Amino acid sequence: MRDHQLVTMARKDFDDAIRSKTVWALSGALALIAIFATFRVSQAQLPQGFPQRFLPVLVLGGLTQWISWIVCILALIAGYVSIVGERRTGSIKLLLGLPFERAEILVGKVLGRTAVIGVGIAAGFLTMIASILVLVGLTSPLDFLWRFVGMFLATVLLGGVYTTLSVSTSAIVSTRRRAVMAVVALFVVTQAIWTGITQFFYSVFAGGAVPLQPPSWYLFLTYLSPSAAYSRVVSLVVPIARYPGLGLDGVPRRAVQAQQSGAFYLSEYFALLVLLVWVVGSVLVAHSVFRNADLG
Amino acid sequence: MAAIETDALTRRYGEVVAVDSVDLTVEQGEVFGFLGPNGAGKSTLINMLLDYTPPTSGEARVFGHRTRGEAVAIRERVGVLPDAYKLYERLSGRRHLEFVVQARQADDDPDDILDRVGLDPEDAERNAGDYSKGMAQRLVLGMALIGEPDLLILDEPSTGLDPNGIRLMRDIIREEVDRGATVFFSSHILGQVEAVCDRVGIMNEGRLIEVATLDEIRDTIGVGTTLHVTVDQQPDLTLSDLEAMDDVSNVRADGPELTMNLSDSTAKAKVINRLEEGGATVVDFETAESSLEELFAELIDEDADEPEPEVSA
């Protein structure tokens, strides 16, 4: 892969995808949810001794789960037709007439679409900071700012993971219909029923239901999904799990247990690695198929 | 080194053989017409030359580079106007050209290209989704010219073009050949290939059934120019006397009108001389080029009449 070709491919794809109305509709949804969540936190009853300056960070924590859902949907929708759509319409013939390796097309598209998702996420985050300023107020702006930027970067990474998954899917399948079915399956498996899957594994390998204090290997399984790994990474900058008893959405018991377990594979940095493995793994699988696909 | 070379190149789709063991050589600097009815396998062969489609067996080389594994080296030297493409409807025409300039690391100015293919600079700012087929075709032809490619592969380039557009395309092909480029021009319409091509290859049902110059093809099939002559009186000649002349065949008479086929159109002067020597005055004459469409139809019929070789166990 050559840098110049990657950048050319990514820029073309960015210019194309950024003009998609779907992407802007979903970014709008992210912004609306940001306003709503900020409003809820501003109205919440907080436990005794909870530091007031920590309130804006609480908004970020409360949003983690919502963001991971929206970003997942946004990235899957933005990416699933990226390659199969060009194959079906024939515009891929214009690309393939140019000196691009197929790997450059694949990775260039991942980069371009991730940049588009990044813009959508930035729009959502700007709305979020505006509504925090209005509804909650900032007492220690600097402390909040680095957490905010950290969470933004983690969210772009999550967007990158799901964009990679959807663009990879798009490179593997040969019809739009299959692409839709595949990204719906990805959404269901990684977002909706991941916990159910891990519980099934537990019952097979350990027998019975998952106890209240599960073993570390089970916690590790639950953190293998991109959105769970994301929430783990976010806790680096938004350490909401250190305040058990807040009773907010998005702070599951497991987060606290992972925080307390001390196993290296449950650490935030390991979750970062998990996200990178998703990216690299899906690109490698997609390339092995796309490399020899009949694109005529 | 040939511009294009294929060895027993074959592509099967299940039971269907889209391209059947084609051996084809296109030399550098020539304009090669690639003919055949729709569905003959022309686009599949082009898809294999550019490595859009992997061959089932056999291989192809473009400027000595194998299509499997060296596709990027090939595409660096080839400009393509593909068949059945679609533009990026959310991007402007100009952005399409800029993309190709960047991808080829060329220094072409998009405005020069627009001017060459006759696209209005204002239209170039519009989204390509609004383009007519003719505008799209001009834009993609322009994209193919960027970076002075050594080989132009044009698949049905006249699709959607009006007569002006077709003339412009021919002029561009000639300019490119003068610059030293090789042109591989695929079409199902002979008339378009005739005007620009040195040699033609004819595909039918996946097989390459003929490769020759247009003159050679006319000779093979035995048709060429038809000559109609009107004389004032019966010359002192028989029809067989005329048929005995070189390049003259199939002489028919209908009163004072004679009709004959000439395999070389310059033979008409000899025929007229001979008639006048025989004592008749030629009142009127007219020549007509046999249509290549007829030629084409005849070749394909001939091909279909050949019995399939029988396979024995």
Facing residue for B103 by CB, picked from A91, A99, A294: A99
Each residue's pLDDT, cut to its tens digit, for chain B (313 residues) gives 899 999 999 999 998 999 999 999 999 999 999 988 888 899 999 999 999 999 999 999 999 999 998 999 999 999 999 988 999 999 999 999 999 999 999 999 999 999 999 999 999 999 999 999 999 999 999 999 999 999 999 999 888 888 899 999 999 999 999 999 999 999 887 777 877 888 999 898 899 988 988 777 766 655 567 788 999 888 888 888 888 888 887 788 888 888 887 877 788 888 889 898 888 888 888 887 666 666 666 666 666 665 544 444 4
- A291: which chain B residues are within 8 Å (Cβ-Cβ)? none
**What's residue A249's pLDDT?**
43
The helices-and-strands tally (H runs, E runs) of chain B is 12, 14
Residue of B nearest to A9 (CA): B103
Determine which of A11, A94, A291 to mutate to test the interface with B (most B C-beta atoms within 10 Å): A94
- B71: which chain A residues are within 8 Å (Cβ-Cβ)? 101
- B86: which chain A residues are within 8 Å (Cβ-Cβ)? 89-91
DSSP secondary structure string for all residues of A189-231:
IIIISHHHHHHHHHHHHT-SSPPSS--HHHHHHHTTSHHHHHH
Cβ B79–A97 below 8 Å, yes or no? yes
Residue of A nearest to B11 (CA): A294
Between residues A181 and A144, the one the model is more confident about:
A181
Q: Indicate if the pLDDT at residue A246 is higher than 80.
A: no
- Tell me, yes or no, if A247 comes closer than 8 A to chain B by beta carbon: no
- B53: which chain A residues are within 8 Å (Cβ-Cβ)? 294-296
The interface pTM score, or ipTM, of the predicted complex is: 0.87
Min Cα–Cα distance to chain B from A157, Å: 27
Where, residue-wise, is CATH 3.30.70 in chain B?
Answer: 224-289
- Per-window interface: A 257-296 vs B, CB < 8 A: 292, 294-296
Residue of A nearest to B100 (CA): A98
Angle among Cα B221, B227, B233 to the nearest 5 degrees reads 140
- B54: which chain A residues are within 8 Å (Cβ-Cβ)? 292, 294
Q: Largest alpha-carbon pair distance within chain A? A: 67
Pick the CATH number of B224-289 from 1.10.1060, 1.10.3470, 3.30.70, 1.20.120: 3.30.70
**What's residue B240's pLDDT?**
85
Residue at A52: amino acid letter: Q
Cβ A19–B102 below 8 Å, yes or no? no
- B43: which chain A residues are within 8 Å (Cβ-Cβ)? 296
Cβ A96–B44 below 8 Å, yes or no? no
**Cα–Cα distance, A103 to A96 (Å, whole number):** 12
| CB–CB contacts below 8 A, A to B | 81
Q: Indicate if the pLDDT at residue A4 is higher than 50.
A: yes
Q: Indicate if the pLDDT at residue A262 is higher than 70.
A: yes
| CATH superfamily, with its number, for domain B4-218 | P-loop containing nucleotide triphosphate hydrolases (3.40.50.300)
**What's residue B224's pLDDT?**
65
CB neighbour class for A18 (10 Å; exposed up to 12, middle 13-18, buried from 19): middle
**What's residue B246's pLDDT?**
83
Facing residue for A296 by CB, picked from B44, B79, B90: B44
Facing residue for B104 by CB, picked from A93, A99, A295: A99
**What's residue B313's pLDDT?**
40
pLDDT range class, residue A242, cuts 50, 70, 90: low
pLDDT digits 0-9 by tens, A13-67: 999 999 888 888 888 888 888 888 788 877 777 766 677 777 788 788 878 888 8
CB neighbour class for A159 (10 Å; exposed up to 12, middle 13-18, buried from 19): buried
As a whole number, mean pLDDT of residues A149-163 equals: 95
Min Cα–Cα distance to chain B from A242, Å: 48
Min Cα–Cα distance to chain B from A101, Å: 6
**Domain ranges for chain A:** 3-290
pLDDT digits 0-9 by tens, A55-79: 788 788 878 888 888 899 999 999 9
Facing residue for A90 by CB, picked from B76, B84, B96: B84
